[in-house]
Amino acid sequence: MVSLSLTSPFLKQTIPSIDTITLDIDGMKCGGCVKSVEKQISQHQGIICANVNLMTSVALVEYQVGVVELETIAQKLTNLGFPTQVRLKDETQENQKLIIHQKRLSAKKNQQYLLISAAFLLLFSTIGHLHHLGLHPWHWLTNIWFHWGLATASLLIPGREILLNGWQGLWQRKPNMNSLVGIGAICAYIASCIALIFPELGWECFFDEPVMLLGFIFLGKVLESTARNKAVDSLEALLSLRPQFARLVGKINSNQDQGLQIPALQVKPTEWVRVLSGEQFPVDGIIIEGETTVDESLLTGESLPTFKSVGEKVCAGTINHGNMVIVEAVTDGKNTLLSQIIATVEAAQTRKPPVQKFADTVSSYFTYFIIATAFFTFSFWYFWGTQIWSNIVIELDTTKIILSLKLAINVLVIACPCALGLATPTAILVGTTLGAENGLLIKGGDVLEQVKNLKTIVFDKTGTLTQGYLEITDIFSYYPDKFSEDKILQIAASLEIVANHPLAETILKKAQKLNLEILDNQKLENCHGKGVKGIITPFIDCFYLGNQSWLRENNIMVNDVTVNQVKSLQTQGKTVIYLAQNTTIIGFIALGDTLRQDAKQTIDTLEKMGLEVIMMSGDQPETATYIAQQLAIKTYYGGVTPQGKSALIKQIQQENPDKIVVMIGDGVNDAPAMTTAQFSIAMTNGAQVAIKTAEIILTRGKLSDVITAIHLSQITLTKIQQNLFWALSYNLIAIPLAGGFLLPSFHLLLNPAISGALMALSSIIVVTNSLLLKSQFRRFQKLLAG
């Protein structure tokens, strides 16, 4: 016998569970910082992946629970110059709002500091330049030591943060934008100090240059910060929509119970809450008592309030416009639809498209390249350039070392790694937030890049192109004088009062909607799966309601005329139930899953966009054919199993390997195909597995939002491409220009201050271009609505 100890390798080892946490990280300046932070997080054991967003200063970290200490990682990042905090998952609503408020106050204080610094620096620079204009009411303004004092004060007071941050980046071998600006400013200052101390060298003092350089840098940071805040405003507005409190009441005598006010996040499923007129619904729930109108524009975009009565669902964050109601929570306060939307949007903004990963990689090496280029520029002009074009030094009234140094400083400060780092996250931030505000959840920036090659859209039928639930489509009476359509429905509802299946529920709801009273009845019997029978008092006759086999069991014959009528309805995918009085059929009711109102227009628009539309369904082929003909879909499949749907997607992909295929569905049976497709779209009323599988979710349940989702993805991707093109083009043109490329031919020489201003302008253009996405999207919405 072999005994195994507790440490035996043959025993099954426990696999650590995987979780996701958010880190709030400050101090990131550009894409190089992002890459550096991601590298620092990922190198720890137990970290699966880390995605960092420059715009929101957030990292989403997937890790093995118990293997890694997140506080240790946060402390290490803080020590490296990136102050970091672990965001707790179970924060109360008040704490979350406090964090947002503190971030906003911190950003506002920083912006005020930047603005004051910029104002002082530009004022110092203006004072320093007065003697160039002959405006010197006080002779000491022309004194070189006064200029030295201004430059020294500028570097030590407002410029201190830039210099320290830049030095920290260099020391840790992770140089950033501040490193480049700091090297440029210090080089100009030191060269001017040498010229001041050793005038016999004949060097030029240019103390005004570092002052003006820092002034433009700070001014650019103010403008960039303002633009960034505008980009983040929409996300913060979304966060502020979360309800803050709930009024908990008991289930007995709930109307007399004053209620206990608790944070909305602490409400548990099955608990009852009272919602007064004008208040937000604190949880997703079902109305237990009362009826009201609800403003659901937050989730649906519809401006008109929706009427809600007992048994109907309401969502957290929507507003009660009518009477007081009692609601039973169906989820806890942390897992409402609104909370899921917010969490999805935040997570989406950390998922990067491949193009952003490339940009971050380029940014991480960019500063090294610029430092090397600046060194090369100095060497070229000092050893060769001033020899080849010796007249330049004379015309500019300078020395070759000062000219070479100025050109090298130009290269350092004109290069803009920030524009490259901001190009993608700003566009994704604006795009995904716009989507959430308009009923679209785009789960990540990587989805956007898939859309550019989108050629084929595959629709599930039931619940996607159709409503997904039964409605009464036809009521037919053979004796209209005696039994009108309403009377047929009233008798059917009076029989179905004892049944419990979808057909019965549909009939009862329709009768209730038409205010048809339930007739007195006796001896009601329900035969599950077949039908019901009973005596309806006003007629004192026995009525039978059910399928054909139910009628046969009760010796009621269905003639050929009725069979042919019913068959034409059944080919449309409709279910028919017969109503008979004693032994005579007096009519029938047809129920079917009807098309969504916007289905035909959506399909037509997608085809006009040049996309191939395919439909597949698990229903019988006849039903699929009827729906496809209604929508003018040329390629369709019926009677397809879940595995068959997945196989069809694979077949389409193999026939067109370069084309992106998107699957749109809502049910459990669609999940395999949605996983197989390059990306998928789900309806919000679908199964959870379909929603979790999908990359885009239509939260309003409107099929036409498929068009909006595609368009928003396309214009967001276009903005990313425009931003990256600008960032790369700017650096490709600006760096040679700053290095004196046009100096021999056109005598065009930039000074460090102008170079710094151009650098700041580059980042501002990128962020502003991303913000233009809002107006572009609104124009599309008006066009679609018109």
Which positions are annotated as active-site residues?
460
Please list, residue by residue across 246-270, b when 16 or more beta carbons sit within 10 angstroms of its beta carbon and e when fewer do. bbbbeeeeeeebebeebbbbbbeee
Please list, residue by residue across 644-659, b when 16 or more beta carbons sit within 10 angstroms of its beta carbon and e when fewer do. bbbebbeebbeeeeee
Are 456 and 652 within 8 A, CB to CB?
Answer: yes
Token digits of residue 503: 């057909």
Closest CA to 596 of 645, 666, 663, 662: 666
Question: How far apart (Å, rounded) are the C-alpha atoms in residues 783 and 786?
Answer: 5
SS (H, E, C) 573-603: CCEEEEEEECCEEEEEEEEEEEECCCHHHHH
Main-chain dihedrals φ then ψ at residue 782, nearest 5 degrees: -65, -40
Are 84 and 33 within 8 A, CB to CB?
Answer: no
End-to-end Cα spacing for the chain: 82
> Sheet containing 575-581: which strands, arranged edge to edge?
466-477, 584-595, 575-581, 541-546, 531-536, 521-527
Burial (CB count <10 Å: 0-12, 13-18, 19+), residue 106? exposed
Q: What is the CA radius of gyration of the chain?
A: 35
- Per the listing, tokens 């911190």 go with 106
Token digits of residue 143: 């004194």
- Per the listing, tokens 């026995």 go with 542
Question: How far apart (Å, rounded) are the C-alpha atoms in residues 285 and 332?
Answer: 10
Q: Measured between alpha carbons, how far is residue 128 from residues 90, 139, 319, 751, 785 in Å?
A: 56, 12, 60, 15, 58
DSSP secondary structure letters along 556-576: ----HHHHHHHHHHHTTT-EE
C-alpha torsion sign, points 607, 609, 612, 616: negative
Closest CA to 690 of 698, 700, 681, 699: 681
Token digits of residue 539: 């007629």
Q: If you ran DSSP here, which 8-state letter would residue 700 be given?
A: T
CA 237 to chain centre: 14
Total residues found in the chain within this entry: 786
Are 611 and 455 within 8 A, CB to CB?
Answer: yes
Element of type H or E holding 247? strand 245-249
DSSP secondary structure letters along 358-427: HHHHHHHHHHHHHHHHHHHHHHHIIIIIHHHTHHHHHHTT--HHHHHHHHHHHHHHH--HHHHHHHHHHH
Token digits of residue 644: 């068959």
